[in-house]
Structure 1
Amino acid sequence: MQQFKVGLCAFGMSGKVFHAPFLKQHPNFLLSAIVERTKNESREKYPDATIYRSVEEMLSDSDVDIVVVNTPVQTHFEFAKKALQAGKNLIVEKPFTVSVAEAAELSSLARAHQKFISVYQNRRFDRDFLQVKKVIASEKLGALKEVEIRFDRFRTTPGTKDHKENPALPGAGALHDLGSHLIDQTMVLFGPPTSVFADVFTMKEQAAANDYFDILLRYKNGLRVRLKSTVFAKESAYAYILHGSRGSFLQMRSDAQEQELIAGAAPLGQDWQQILETADGILIYEDSNGAHRVNTTSEPGNYMDYFDAIAHHLVAAKPLPSPASEVILNMRIIEAALKSAETGAFVRLE
């Protein structure tokens, strides 16, 4: 079986939870290099991986085929560019970059070097989002008219990660962090809107990066999509609310892969997650047989499907998951939202 050697640019939460466990279990990948600037934490679980003290040192390893850029977003452009120049294929953590200009330059550079960049949009493989896709595909809702997607938390004081909390740093804040997930899911479902209106704000009393956003996306067919996030949600609401000409669908945010991975679960097979014991959605619709109200239960998602897609691209030239050229659109939406919040006006994308 063909195997590809992978290097991680960092061994923080992203490396420990979202990448290393999957690379360890996947037969087509070998986690061969990990950057730890001062520690040796990876040695216990990944003793065969060489520990490097800098990204530049790891990039000089000619055996590394794929580099995972999972450092703070402010460094994505620098490290991704160096990795491409070193002849590596790339997986870049979300958000892809801090700006459209950076994203476009990296995408162009990858084409010039005949290497790929895939952005790690893992929330495409959440159980709740997959259920939403399934319901939309069933056409039971009719023509969609209004959609709301939200990702709320209760974190009323600033965190300790400067790259996420410092308002002076480009790419810090909820819009780039959680917004990159919601925007990506929306682009997967509906494609690019015609215009964007947004309120992006800091609700914490302390000086911190934005922690609230409310984004309205307008589509040619009349569809309206609202994306929201706040850190002052003590009680969770439905994460997905869809209203169509024949019905509505309400879906909770129920995927627990992150929590289970943090707790030490090994992502083996398709059934490594806990099965839901109660329904996590409600589907209400009308058809020729009358009115229906159905409690729905989503099936498990699996972040391993992302790594499967990377392997299939390398081995069988299958489509690359979330390629850079596609995710540039997400960066355009983020920039449009920031501009709208500043000007108080709709920003056209056409």
Structure 2
Amino acid sequence: MEKQVVVAIASFGMSGQVFHGPTLKVDSNFRVKLILERSKTLSQSMFPNARIVRTYEELLADEEVELVVVNTPDEFHYEMVKQAFNAGKHVVVEKPAAQKSSQLQELINLAKSQNLLFTVYQNRRWDGDFRTVQKVIKEARFGRLVEFESHYDRYRTEITADTWKEEPDEFSGVLYNLGSHMIDQAFVLFGIPKAVTAHLKVVRTAGKVTDYYDIRLDYDNFSALLKCSYLVLDPGPRYTIHGEYGTFYKSGLDGQEDLLKAGNLPEGEDWGKEDADWWGTLVYNENDEQVEELVETLPGDYRIFYTNIFDALRKNKELLVKPEEALEVLKIMEACVKSNAEKRTVFL
């Protein structure tokens, strides 16, 4: 049996409590030794045997720690990841891995020069609905792909006080938050687009940061449309895929986040399974007749991410989320910002 990977978590806010913490807790291949909480002790209930430290320097000084999870606000990712590499630590960083592609390229080069693992927490590659979309597109029963449309809509009229996510700067707002996931999903499906056209807006009353985007990624023979708004009270399908001979619709969001927020641990064979009421619908022509059928949603499973991290560190397996992929995603996001600012299509 391979030796456990000793982990330190660099913060214990929402991502630590909901995503990284629960998965690391149930995976016996990992041992969380240190957690950085500058003033609180929230992690004690989940990790009673872990030690709380008050500074990042103390966390990095522990020689037993192999892997550092950098899950702090976006603006700190670049410096904290660089510090971890300079301390000889492997790194999992929250998305986006850095605010600028030039910073991320520097981090990739530094990790390679020191032979350290570097990956980005793109957990929504393992949403059940997205895994199902991958299967549907691969099977292509609707024929040649014509248009792919993805939505991540919410209804939040309030402006949350005292949070970095509502502080206006060039990197705040939904593009660098939810957009990191949606553009990554499009990249996984289709690769680098030929051109990007983006519209970014503030739609909430008294809003200060981008809370709406409409992004068009153009490929050779089809387009991928990515949309997000904080003022959608009654959302339509999460995914709509049109092919030459049919259409696939999928509504609802993967349920893992809500389960984790409610305090459930990601355990058991039924984890991530979706109720049949939310399964997608595939409509297509076959022998001059229209056929409609339900498509069972594949189970979502965020645990796969850390299983792969262990396999990469202990069994020399290939990373499922490569930092070079995160770099391409960040470049697409930068093209979105440029397209919106210059009111034009940006060609890649």
The question of a shared fold, defined as TM-score above 0.5 by the shorter chain, is answered with: yes
Structure 2: how far apart are the matches of 1:105 and 1:287? 52
Question: Match of 1:234?
Answer: 233
Corresponding letter in the other structure for 1:322: V
Partner residue, 2:192: 192
Residues 16-64 of structure 1 deviation map (CA, whole Å, 9 limit, x = unaligned): 1101111111121111110010111211221111111011210111111
Where in structure 2 are there 5+ consecutive unaligned residues?
A: none
Deviation of residue 215 (structure 1)? 0.5
The alpha-carbon distance between structure 1 residues 281 and 207, as it changes in their structure 2 partners (threshold 3 A), is closer
Give the alignment of 1:244-255 within 5 angstroms.
Answer: 244-255=243-254
Q: Using the aligned pairs only, state the percent identity.
A: 38
3-state secondary structure, aligned to 1:237: coil
C-alpha contact 2:273 2:300 (8 A) present in aligned 1: no
SS of the residue 2:277 aligns to: coil
Q: Which deviations, in whole Å up to 9, do the C-alpha atoms of 1:227-261 show, x marking residues without a partner?
A: 10000000121011100112110111331100001
| Greater mean deviation of Cα atoms: 9-18 or 318-327 | 318-327
Q: Does 1:308 align with 2:307?
A: yes
Q: Which residue of 2 aligns with 1:325?
A: 324
Aligned position for 2:257: 258
- Structure 1 residue ranges (4+ consecutive) displaced by more than 4 angstroms after TM superposition: none
Q: Tell me which amino acid in the other structure corresponds to 2:172.
A: A
The whole-number CA distance in structure 2 between the counterparts of 1:160 and 1:64 is 35
The answer to whether the Cα contact below 8 Å between 1:266 and 1:272 also exists between their aligned partners in 2 is: no
- Counterpart in the other structure of 1:183: 183
- In 1, the alpha carbon distance for the partners of 2:81 and 2:103 equals 10
Tell me which amino acid in the other structure corresponds to 2:168: P
Instruction: State the alpha-carbon separation in 1 of the partners of residues 253 and 339 from structure 2.
Output: 31
Shift of residue 207, structure 1, vs aligned partner:
4.4
Q: CA deviation at 1:205?
A: 2.6
Match in the other structure for 1:347? 346
Could you list the per-position Cα deviations for residues 135-167 of structure 1 after superposition, in whole angstroms to 9, with x for gaps in the alignment?
111120211011111100001122235321111
Q: Is 1:283 equivalent to 2:309 in the alignment?
A: no
The residue matched to 1:174 in structure 2 has which SS? coil
Report the alpha carbon displacement of residue 178 of structure 1 after superposing the two structures with TM. 0.5
Letter of the aligned partner of 1:184 in structure 2? D
Give 1:273 deviation, angstroms.
Answer: 4.2
- Which stretches in structure 1 are left out of the alignment for 5+ residues? none
Structure 1 residues 298 and 41, CA gap change in structure 2 (3 angstroms): same
Partners of 1:160 and 1:23 in 2: CA distance: 30
1:13 equivalenced with 2:47 (yes/no): no
Quote the offset at 1:275 in angstroms: 4.3
Q: Distance in 2 between matches of 1:161 and 1:237?
A: 31
Give, in whole Å, the separation in 2 of the partners of 1:253 and 1:182. Answer: 15
Mapped to 1, the partners of 2:67 and 2:34 lie a distance apart of 10
Residue 61 of structure 2: aligned partner: 60
Which segment is superposed worse, 246-255 or 158-167? Answer: 158-167
- 1:57, 1:328 → 2: CA distance? 30
Q: Which residue does the alignment assign to 1:104?
A: 105
- The answer to whether the Cα contact below 8 Å between 2:157 and 2:204 also exists between their aligned partners in 1 is yes
Q: What is the match of residue 143 of structure 2?
A: 142
Kept in 2, the 8 Å contact 1:197–1:217? The answer is yes
User: 2:193 aligned with 1:205, yes or no?
Assistant: no
SS of equivalent to 1:342: helix
Equivalent residue number for residue 30 of structure 2:
29
Residue 105 of structure 1 aligns to a residue in which SS?
A: helix
Cα distance change, pair 225–154 in 1 and its aligned pair in 2 (3 A): same
| Secondary structure, counterpart of 2:46 in structure 1 | coil
Q: Once structures 1 and 2 are overlaid, which stretch shifts more, 338-347 or 137-146?
A: 137-146
Of 226-235 and 281-290, more deviation after overlay is shown by 281-290
Structure 1 residues 161 and 71, CA gap change in structure 2 (3 angstroms): farther
**SS of equivalent to 1:175:** coil
Residue 124 of structure 1 is matched in structure 2 by 125
Contact (CA 8 Å) 2:67, 2:89: kept in 1 or not? yes
Give runs of aligned pairs for residues 160-171 of structure 1, distance below 5 A.
160=161, 162-168=163-169, 170-171=170-171
Q: What is the one-letter code of the residue matched to 2:159? A: P
Q: Please state if 1:173 is matched with 2:170.
A: no
Q: Distance in 2 between matches of 1:269 and 1:99?
A: 39
Equivalent residue letter for 1:95: P
CA RMSD, Structure 1 to Structure 2 (Å): 1.4
Find the residue that maps to 2:175 and give its secondary structure: helix
Count, aligned residues: 347
Give the CA deviation at 1:288.
Answer: 4.1
CA positional deviation for 1:315: 2.0
How many Å apart are 1:117 and its aligned residue?
Answer: 1.1
CA distance in 1, matches of 2:37, 2:222: 47
Give the equivalent residue in structure 2 for 1:219. Answer: 219
Q: Which amino acid aligns with 2:259?
A: E
1:321 offset after TM fit, Å?
2.1
The question of whether the paired residues in 1 share the 8 Å contact of 2:274 and 2:297 is answered with: no
Q: Which moved more, 1:192-201 or 1:265-274?
A: 265-274
Q: CA deviation digits over 1:85-133, x for unaligned, max 9?
A: 0001010011221111111111111111111111000100001101101
Distance 1:335 1:275, change over 3 A: closer
